[in-house]
Amino acid sequence: MTEFLLLLLAHVLVDFYWQPTKWVTDKKEKKYKSRYLYFHILLVIIVSYIALHQWQNPFPAIALGIAHGVIDLVKISFDKKGSLAWFIADQAAHLATIAFAALILTSNILPGFEALAVWLNKPKTLATLSGALFILHPISFFVGILTKPWREELAKLAPGADDNLANAGRWIGLSERLLIFVFVLVNQYSAIGFLIAAKSLLRYNEKATDSGIPPAYISKKSEYVLVGTLMSYTCAIAVALAVQILSQKFK
C-alpha cells in the first residue's frame, strides 16, 4: 500500500503540478515529435524513482515512465476536443499501471487480485455500487418524467426563455444525489441539511422581467426547481437507506 501511495503522489505532482501548460500545448500539437513529451516521461521516471527510494532497483520507475508516455500519447492522438471521457480514461489507465507496479514491488499480484475479487463479491460492495449507479442516471430519468408537466407549463409561459446553462441542472442533480448517498451511508445526516441550505441560496435574477420574461415564469421556475430538488433528494435518501438495510442483512 505504501508503494502505491508513493507512486500516486509522484503521479499527481508530475501530471498536475509540474507539467507547464506550454508542455501540454506542445504535446497536443506535435504529439510524439514533441520534446516536452519526453521531458515529461523523464520527470515521471525521476520522481517515481525518488518516491520509491529503492536505489538499487530503477526498473519500476523506468517502466512506469514508459507506460505513462504511451498512455499520454494515445490520449493526445485520439482526444481532439479535451473531453471528460478521455480525461477519466487517461487517469484510470495511469492508476492501473501504478497499482500494477505497486503489486509487483510487494509481490502481491495474485493476493491483490484475489482480495479485489473477494471485495467485489461481497453483498455490501455490490449493494453500494448498484445503489450509486441507480441514483445517478436512472433517477434522473425518473425525476425528469415526474417534472415534465411543469417543464411544459414553463415553456408555454416563456417560449423563448434561455436562462439555464447547457446540462447544468443535470450535473447539479447528479452531484447532489451522489453526495446525499454518501452522507447517508456514513450516517452524516446533518451534512444533508447543509446541502439543502446551500441549495436554498439559489435565486433567479428579478431583472429578467426587463427582458420580457413574465414574473409568473420566475415564480413558477423557482417552485419547479424546488419540487425537482426534493424529489431528487428523496430518491437518493431512499436508495441509500435501502443499501444500508441490504448491507446489514446480508453481511
Helix %, strand %, coil % of the chain (to 5) = 80, 0, 20
- Asked if 220 and 150 count as a contact pair (C-beta separation under 8 A), the reply is yes
Provide the grid cell at 56: 538499487
In the predicted model, is pLDDT for residue 206 greater than 50?
no
| % of the chain beyond a pLDDT of 70 | 86
**Whole-number pLDDT of residue 205:** 45
In the predicted model, is pLDDT for residue 204 greater than 60?
no
In the predicted model, is pLDDT for residue 112 greater than 50?
yes
Whole-angstrom Cα distance, residue 38 to residue 181?
Answer: 43
- Asked if 27 and 76 count as a contact pair (C-beta separation under 8 A), the reply is yes
114 alpha-carbon distance from chain centroid: 26
Report helix, strand or coil for 168.
Answer: helix
Q: Amino acid identity, residue 69?
A: G
**Whole-number pLDDT of residue 46:** 94
- At 11-29, the pLDDT tens digits run 999 999 998 889 988 998 8
pLDDT tier, 209 (very low <50, low <70, confident <90, very high otherwise): very low
How far is it between the farthest Cα atoms of the chain?
Answer: 74
- At 50-79, the pLDDT tens digits run 988 888 888 989 999 999 999 999 998 888
Would you list the domain boundaries of the chain? 2-118, 123-249
- Asked if 222 and 167 count as a contact pair (C-beta separation under 8 A), the reply is no
Mean confidence (pLDDT) of the chain: 83
DSSP structure class, residue 34: -
pLDDT tier, 251 (very low <50, low <70, confident <90, very high otherwise): low
- Asked if 140 and 239 count as a contact pair (C-beta separation under 8 A), the reply is no
**Whole-number pLDDT of residue 69:** 93
Mean pLDDT throughout 100-106? 83
Using CB atoms within 10 A of its CB, is residue 86 exposed (0-12), middle (13-18) or buried (19+)? middle
